Each structure stands twice: as C-alpha cells, then as structure tokens.
Amino acid sequence: MLSRADSYTQLVSQFQWQVPAAYNIGVDACDKWADGSGRLALIYEKSDGAQTRYTFDQIKAQSNRLANSLERHGIQRGDRVAIYLPQAPETAVAHIAVYKMGGVAVPLFTLFGVDAIQYRLANSGAAALITDAEGCRKLREIRASLPGLKVIYCIDGEEDGTVPFHPALARESDAYQPVSTSADDPAVIIYTSGTTGKPKGALHAHRVLLGHLPGVEMSHEFFPENAALMWTPADWAWIGGLLDVLLPSWHHGVPVLARRFEKFDGASALELMARHGVTHTFLPPTALKMMRGCEWPEAAGPRALRSVASGGESLGAELIDWGRRVLGVTINEFYGQTECNMLVSSCSSLFDPCIGAIGRAAPGHRVAIVDDTGAEVADGQEGNIGVKRPDPVMFLGYWNNPQATADKFVGDYLLTGDIGVRDAQGFIRFVGRNDDVITSAGYRIGPAPIEDCLIGHPAVRMAAVVGLPDAQRTEVVAAFVVLNEGYEGDDALVKALQEHVRTRLAAHEYPRVIRFVTSLPTTATGKIIRKALRDESAA
C-alpha cells in the first residue's frame, strides 16, 4: 500500500486506503499467487533440521482439500474453526482454508493448558478443531464439556475420536470455489493475553490484513522491497505472528520461514537467520534481550538482514545500539494491540529513531493522546493513547461481549489502555499501561525508561520495574532484576544499580527496592506481567 517517499510528511500525505468492498484473506494471501509457476511460499524446518519447501500452488491445493473436508463434516460459513498448532504447514493451510470457506479462524497458542483451551473453545463456540497429538491428549478430559465441537482433526494421524488430517485431505478434491466475502465479514477471533480478567476474543474482519499493511510496510522499510525471506519466533496464534508476519508476507508473495523453538535460545535464533539468509524479521523485545545476552561474535551476525521490527515493549537505546552492531540494521519499533494493531511505527530510512518514543502514526491511522472524555490533549501532555474510528485495522468487537466492546471506546476513540505523550513532531512516547504507571511522591513514572537504563548496566540481563505501596510516597519504584553470569546480587550491586539509574536517568526515578530473581513472569507473547510481580510482593 505504501509508495516510497522522501519524508514522513510526504508518506502520510500521499497515502489513501484501498479497501475493496469484496475481499477475502485466503484468496489474497494465497490463491492469487497460485498460478502454476511454483512460487515459493513456505520453508518449514523441524527441530532436527529437516526442511520441506511448499509453493503457493501446494498451499492452495491443500487448503481447498481442507475446505471440502470441513464442509463434508458440516462446517458452514460463519462457523468458528479453532487452530491449535505451532508454526507448521498445516497451520497455514488451515487458516487459508477457513478464510476461503467464509469461516472464522480461532488461533490458539500451543502452550495453553487444558483450562485455557476449554475456555476459548467454549467461549468462541468452535465447531471444529485442528490440532496435533499433544492437543488431542489435552482435549480428552474436556471433550464432554464441548458439545458444539463437531469434528477434531489430528495432523499426527489416528487418535481416538478424531479425523486423521492428511488422509482426510487426500480423499478430497483440490478444486474449491472460495465464497464471496465482504471486507467487513468476520474472519478471525484472536484472544487477548488476559493479563487482567478473563481473555476476550477480539473479532476481526477480512479487512484486518489490509489494515495491517501500512504499519508492516513502514516498520520494514517499505516492505516488500529487498525481501527474500521473513521469519519470526512469535507464534502464529498471536496477532504479531499471524498478521504482522505470515499473512502480510503472503499478501506480497514473500516466502516465510517456519521454525518455532520449543524454548527460545538467542544464539540459535541468530544462527537460524544467518543460515537461511533471512532478510526481514519481527523480533519481540524479550527475544531481542535474550539474543543480546548470549555469546555471539558480532562479525557473525545475520548479514542478509534488511529490516528488523519489534513491538510489545519499549526497546530503549541499549537494544537499538546492539541491533546496529550485531544485526547491522536499526531496529524499527512499532505499536499496537490485539484489538487495533500496527498503529504507530518507526522507519529508519525516513527518520532517526527517537529514543524513548515508539514512533509516529502509520499512514491511514489517526492516533492521538486523549483525556478520559475522548478529547485530544495538547502536545507534551500525558493522556490515553487512542485511535479514531473508523479504521480498517480496528476490530469489529469482542466476541459475545457488547459491554466490553462499548467500554473500549470513548466517543470516536478506541482507548488502548496505555498512557502516552505526543511531541510537536508527532513522536509518541509510551509511558506505560494504565495499571503500570507508578505514582511516587507526586511524580508519575513509567517503567520502560528505568528498565532500559538498568539493562545498560553490564550486570543486568533483564529487568522489570513496578510500583510497590508506600505509606509516605504512595508508591516506591521497585526493580526485579535478572543478572548476567558472573555477577552476584549483593548489597554492593544494589547500590551500584541505584546509582546507575540516579545519575543516568533521574534522581526521583531510581529504584528504592531491587530484588534479584532468576526469571520474570511473561505472557505467552513475551510481555512482562508486571501485575504478577506486584501481586507476589503484596503476598
């Protein structure tokens, strides 16, 4: 959607949305490339290193077979089809098939336990499930509680009460006529992380893919320019893996590398990208921090890289500098959430990153800082990060939860739940989640700058900052720190870290409490759950 521009101002001024009335993700991301030319779509690498390549022609044929099989088992347009699989060819095939038949895909993260799966399958009213042997084992104890589940496919073969995926597809025709869907028809339900309350199902329309494109293309330096292969360690069950990587890449006909580490390892990720010649990647901040903390010779970095995008937590100067040295690119931060994603982005070819800011509004999105009534505030004033409706990337609403949907909006603005500040140049600085902002001695303090300052110390591998109750100051700044090898968490290091923040950041922001831990609680998408740290401290 974006045309190359000489400046951010020109980029925004020349942009216009191009969202057709009739639009289907499956046709756009797959079938339009399946012209018999054998164009590469997917490289699948297993944990043992074995590789298989798939063309768009093959993905189209397999997704057609699956659509025919689903319809044979009574799955109709509008039915929800859950996809409980890791990064794998079957996962991509399932998504394309569901979209083409007018169903609603419900991606589910493979590390979810039985309770999490049961809740999402019941809440979405899923009529079909596509999973593997491990998923089937988890389903056994909850199958009776899901009477609406008509059919379960298992990609690993015969399991009690399931349909073997590959034999079922082999019996079907590879010819299928995709249904005609409008851009506003439902396509996918992606559940929120559930850091507060029960997870909510964000229902998105087919247009959500087109709505992602300006932010994806901006964060990846006018993607698909110079694009040969895209990869992310983020699971395709999350909006970051599915709609920031897999589907936008296929919209542009760019092949994707599928390789999901059971336990993420920074050195293995760097080696993977270097070996495959990955040119574009989305790396969540937690992955970048783990990569930064591993022993890896800078000269052996993945030099085919042309773009690295990251979002979910603020990066800061230390990670930006590391990316330039080791990855050979300036990491572009972007910002969004499950309900309304890829709203704000950096683009190093247009402007230098503003350290501490998450970027500027991507073309086509009206992002503003607003007060609790939905009125825009002046530049430099703190407020809610909001996005004005209508917007193609914005969700249709929470599945079967109209009250929560209404609560998400104030006037014409969707409130992200994050606090931010915009400057005169349009850069938006992320202060923190509403419940993450620390109020101490009259100051409102965001955790991200302190965390960035702490990881700039050679002893610190990772850090999370929260506010803990204090009778005198309302809250005090507390840091939970994971150390690099060779450092001991003693009183001397506590004082050194406090002085490091006091002198480099601000005297009122230094952590009065520092606790050394072996790990930090994170969501399945790698975001630090600061609430868990606060709750644990309170207990």
Domain ranges of the chain: 24-28+54-181, 435-538
272-281, 441-450, 504-513: least confidently modelled range: 441-450
Check pLDDT > 50 for residue 269.
Answer: yes
137-151, 280-294, 439-453, 467-481: least confidently modelled range: 439-453
Residue 494: Cβ-neighbour burial (10 angstroms; 0-12, 13-18, 19+):
middle
* CATH architecture, domain defined by 435-538: 2-Layer Sandwich (3.30)
Distance CA 61, CA 57 (A): 6
Strand partners, 470: 474
Residue 488 neighbours by CB distance under 10 Å? 9
Residue 462 neighbours by CB distance under 10 Å? 23
Exposure string for 353-382, b = 16+ CB within 10 A, e = fewer:
bbbbbbbbbbbbbebbbbeeebebeeeeeb
75-79, 200-204, 290-294, 333-337: least confidently modelled range: 290-294
Q: Residue 274: what pLDDT?
A: 93
Phi, psi values for residue 321, rounded to 5°: -65, -45
Residue range 1-11, pLDDT digits in tens: 899 999 999 99
Check pLDDT > 50 for residue 377.
Answer: yes
User: 473 falls in which pLDDT band (50, 70, 90)?
Assistant: confident
Q: Residue 525: what pLDDT?
A: 66
Phi, psi values for residue 102, rounded to 5°: 80, 15
Check pLDDT > 70 for residue 524.
Answer: no
Q: Residue 10: what pLDDT?
A: 98
Q: Residue 318: what pLDDT?
A: 86
Q: Residue 1: what pLDDT?
A: 86
Q: Residue 444: what pLDDT?
A: 64
User: 537 falls in which pLDDT band (50, 70, 90)?
Assistant: confident
Distance CA 241, CA 37 (A): 27
Q: Residue 393: what pLDDT?
A: 98
Check pLDDT > 60 for residue 196.
Answer: no
Distance CA 124, CA 32 (A): 30
Residue range 83-142, pLDDT digits in tens: 999 999 999 999 999 999 999 999 998 888 788 899 999 999 999 999 999 999 999 989
Distance CA 202, CA 340 (A): 9
User: 57 falls in which pLDDT band (50, 70, 90)?
Assistant: very high
Distance CA 218, CA 213 (A): 8
Check pLDDT > 60 for residue 418.
Answer: yes
Distance CA 27, CA 493 (A): 57
* Averaged pLDDT for residues 336-346: 95
Helix (H, G, I), strand (E, B) or coil at 480: strand
The pair of three-digit structure tokens given for residue 404, joined into one six-digit string: 């929560």
The H or E element containing residue 532 is helix 530-538
Residue 258 contacts residue 289 (beta carbons within 8 Å): no
| Maximum CA extent, the chain | 72
Phi, psi values for residue 366, rounded to 5°: -95, 100
User: 195 falls in which pLDDT band (50, 70, 90)?
Assistant: very low
% of the chain surpassing 70 pLDDT: 96
Check pLDDT > 60 for residue 278.
Answer: yes
Helix (H, G, I), strand (E, B) or coil at 519: coil
* Averaged pLDDT for residues 37-52: 96
Strand partners, 483: 460
- DSSP, res 384: E
Q: Which of 148, 179, 171 is nearest to 72 (CA)?
A: 171
Distance CA 137, CA 144 (A): 13
Q: Which of 129, 133, 170, 175 is nearest to 148 (CA)?
A: 129
The sheet carrying 307-311 orders its strands as 51-55, 40-45, 256-258, 230-231, 280-282, 307-311, 332-337, 340-345, 360-361
On the CB side of 145, how many CA atoms lie within 13 Å of its CA? 14
Helix (H, G, I), strand (E, B) or coil at 301: coil
User: 341 falls in which pLDDT band (50, 70, 90)?
Assistant: very high
CATH number of 24-28+54-181: 3.40.50.980
Average pLDDT, the chain: 92
Exposure string for 89-124, b = 16+ CB within 10 A, e = fewer:
bbbbbbbbbbbbbbbbbbbbbbebeeebbbbbbebb
Check pLDDT > 90 for residue 177.
Answer: yes
User: 437 falls in which pLDDT band (50, 70, 90)?
Assistant: confident
Angle at the Cα of 427 from the Cα atoms of 426 and 429, rounded to 5 degrees: 135
Q: Residue 299: what pLDDT?
A: 67
23-37, 53-67, 110-124, 415-429: least confidently modelled range: 110-124
* Averaged pLDDT for residues 197-226: 95
Residue 48 neighbours by CB distance under 10 Å? 5
Residue 119 contacts residue 199 (beta carbons within 8 Å): yes
pTM reported for the whole predicted model: 0.85
Residue range 236-258, pLDDT digits in tens: 999 999 999 999 999 999 999 99
The pair of three-digit structure tokens given for residue 212, joined into one six-digit string: 């992602």
Residue 307 contacts residue 347 (beta carbons within 8 Å): no
Region for residue 221 given its phi and psi (left: phi exceeds 0; alpha: psi -120 to 50; beta: otherwise): left
- pLDDT higher at 420 or 504: 420
